[in-house]
Chain A
Amino acid sequence: GENVEQHPSTLSVQEGDSAVIKCTYSDSASNYFPWYKQELGKRPQLIIDIRSNVGEKKDQRIAVTLNKTAKHFSLHITETQPEDSAVYFCAASDSNYQLIWGAGTKLIIKP
C-alpha cells in the first residue's frame, strides 16, 4: 500500500525567508497530492494541491513541485510571515482515492 514520508518534522525559519517541506511516496499510481495547513486547535485546511499530470503549481507565496519519476513532491513558501506558523501535512491518494498522510511538519517563523 501507499506510504508517505515527510521531512523535516520541525522547521524553524526567519521571517521573510523561504521554507521548503519535502514528501516522498511509494505508490506510482498515486495521482493527487494535496497539502494541508493546520493551526493549533483548528481544522486542517487545503492550501494547495497538484495532480500527477502537472509538474509545478503556484499560488502567490506558495508553490508545490512534483517529480513523478523520483516519487517526491515539495511545498515551497516564500517571504514567510508569522501567520505561516502551523503544522503542514502532505498527502497522496491511494488506489481507493483515499488520502495517505505524511507525519506533519511544524513550521516555526521566527520574528
Chain B
Amino acid sequence: DTEVTQTPKHLVMGMTNKKSLKCEQHMGHRAMYWYKQKAKKPPELMFVYSYEKLSINESVPSRFSPECPNSSLLNLHLHALQPEDSALYLCASSQDGEGTEAFFGQGTRLTVV
C-alpha cells in the first residue's frame, strides 16, 4: 500500500467555522507533512512531524493547528481562517524524513468564504 489518503477532498468553510483535515498512511512511514499549495505555485511546507513529534513549524499562523494522534494519522485543525487561506492542502509522508521519497495524498481543496 503506497497510498496517502486525505479527507475530505473538498471543503468550503466560513471564516467563523472550525473544521479538520485528516490524513492517513499505512506504509510505516515515520515522517508526515502538511503542505499548502496555491495555484501555479510549488507546495509550501507548513509542518513536519517526525516520529509523532512536531519537528518543524514554518511560522504558520495559529489558526492552523496540527495534530499527530499516532504514527499513521495526521490532522490539521482549522479555525477562524481568512479567504487568502483558500488553497490545496497536501499531506505527505516519507520513511524517515531524512532525504527519502515523499508520497503525497490527493489533497483537500479548501475554500474559505
A98-B45 in contact (CB<8A): yes
Given contacts A98-B48, A101-B42, A104-B42, are A45 and B104 in contact (CB under 8 A)? yes
- Nearest B residue to A49, CB-CB: B101
B41-A104 in contact (CB<8A): yes
* Consensus secondary structure, chain A interface: strand
CA distance A74 to B32 in the complex (A): 27
B97-A102 in contact (CB<8A): no
Question: A31 in the interface, Cβ–Cβ < 8 Å?
Answer: yes
Chain B 95-112 near chain A by CB (<8 Å), digits 1 or 0? 001111111111100000
Residues of A within 8 A of B41 (CB): 103-104
B residues 43-77 in Cβ contact with A at 8 Å = 43, 45, 48, 56
Residues of B within 8 A of A97 (CB): 97-99
Chain A 68-111 near chain B by CB (<8 Å), digits 1 or 0? 00000000000000000001010101001111011110000000
> What are 15 A-B contacts defined by CB distance under 8 Å?
A31-B99, A32-B100, A42-B106, A43-B104, A44-B104, A46-B102, A93-B99, A96-B56, A97-B99, A98-B48, A98-B56, A103-B42, A104-B40, A104-B41, A104-B42
